[in-house]
């Protein structure tokens, strides 16, 4: 009898020491967006543009599956690359902004000679990644926008972006 009781107590201790965290799953969820930019004309012989697109965070099948069980969701990187240029140009000024609700993160660029495949440096210098992490935690839609001026009018290009994230969820929560 004592042996059965001891075995039962030992089993309870072992089960209690096992954490639900051991069942966590981690996966990447990436959100590529191509902003198709058509540069118009302005009064100052400069081109102007203002484009935006919406990222539906639930468009990733794994995110949608575990949405209510996500424990942690963090930005691991953000890329921005110019492509499909109708011609080379100078970006006089530009602002790339990621926003959702009251949170926003932005990067400002000035006087960049843009060529095919030119990559923007999108770092966490002013806490932008923290703002995006807050957006991810809210699990809503995210707006990505790019506005600015160029030295040329009536040109077009794409700004390819990719929001890279890592998600931790627990299927049992």
Q: Does residue 11 belong to any structural domain of this protein?
A: no
**Which parts of the chain are beta strand (E)?**
25-38, 40-41, 47-56, 70-83, 89-100, 103-114, 119-120, 141-150, 156-169
User: Residue 17: which pLDDT band, with cuts at 50, 70 and 90?
Assistant: very low
Q: Give the structural domain span for 135.
A: 23-169
Q: What is the CATH number of the domain that holds 61?
A: 2.60.120
Show Cβ contacts of residue 107 under 8 Å, excluding neighbours closer than 6 positions.
95, 96, 97, 120, 122, 128
Dist CA 163 CA 78 (whole Å): 5
Compute the Cα dihedral for 144, 56, 161, 135 and give only its sign.
positive
Q: Does residue 28 belong to any structural domain of this protein?
A: yes
User: Residue 26: which pLDDT band, with cuts at 50, 70 and 90?
Assistant: very high
Write out pLDDT tens, residues 91-118: 999 999 999 999 999 999 999 999 999 9
Q: Which DSSP letter does residue 46 get?
A: -
User: Residue 43: which pLDDT band, with cuts at 50, 70 and 90?
Assistant: confident
Q: What is the total count of domains within the chain? A: 1
Q: Does residue 66 belong to any structural domain of this protein?
A: yes
Q: Does residue 10 belong to any structural domain of this protein?
A: no
Query: Phi and psi for 43 in degrees, rounded to 5?
Result: -70, -20
Residue 57 has pLDDT above 70, yes or no: yes
Query: What pTM, to 2 d.p., does this model score?
Result: 0.86
């Amino acid at each position: 009898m004592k042996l059965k009781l001891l075995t039962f107590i030992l089993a309870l201790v072992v089960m209690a020491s096992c954490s639900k965290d051991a069942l966590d799953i981690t996966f990447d969820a990436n959100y590529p967006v191509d902003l198709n930019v058509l540069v118009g004309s302005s009064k100052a012989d400069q081109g102007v543009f203002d484009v935006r697109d919406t990222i539906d965070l639930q468009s990733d099948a794994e995110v949608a599956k575990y949405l209510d069980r996500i424990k942690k969701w963090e930005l691991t990187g953000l890329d921005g690359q110019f492509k499909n240029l109708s011609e080379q140009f100078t970006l006089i000024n530009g602002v790339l902004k990621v926003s959702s609700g009251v949170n926003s993160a932005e990067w400002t660029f000035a006087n960049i000679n843009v060529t095919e495949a030119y990559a923007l440096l999108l770092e966490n210098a002013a806490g932008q990644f923290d703002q995006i992490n807050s957006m991810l935690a809210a699990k809503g839609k995210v707006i990505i926008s790019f506005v600015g001026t160029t030295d040329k009018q009536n040109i077009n290009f794409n700004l390819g972006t990719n929001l890279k994230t890592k998600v931790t969820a627990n299927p049992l929560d």
